[in-house]
Amino acid sequence: MRSVPTLVSTLAGGPARAIVDLTARAYDGIDAVAAAVTAGAAVLAVGQHDDLDLRRRALAAGADRVVPYRSLAVPSGTAVVRRWIASPLRVATR
């Protein structure tokens, strides 16, 4: 997605999951996490492994999990995403 409003509009259909790039240039990652959670989505946030402040802020904004970019590298990245998708979908409250 290129913007937070587009993300929110996409998630309006009901419970969903979103993967948010915390360092995207087109939008604010923390705002995107908060908006997705408010829309009822579970969020897997992805960011720099050494930016602990950003990772903490993403969790505080409601991300279910925050993983470093390198954890999504193939082939292990597929397993990370599959495990997250298979996990119970929580109902976001914000």
Residue 76 lies in a domain: yes
Domain membership of residue 57 (yes or no) is yes
Main-chain phi, psi angles of 85, to 5 degrees: -65, -35
In a domain, 93, yes or no: no
The percent of residues in the chain predicted with pLDDT above 70, rounded, is 89
Residue 91 maps to a domain: no
Rounded Cα gap, residues 8 and 30, in angstroms: 14
| Domain count of the fold of the chain | 1
Residue 92 belongs to some domain of the structure: no
Query: For residue 92, is pLDDT > 70?
Result: no
- Going by C-alpha positions, the residue among 56, 53, 43, 32 that lies closest to residue 85 is 43
Q: Specify the pLDDT at position 87.
A: 83
Instruction: Write down the pTM of the prediction.
Output: 0.78
Q: What is the mean pLDDT of residues 65-72?
A: 89
Identify the CATH number of the domain in which residue 57 sits: 3.40.50.720
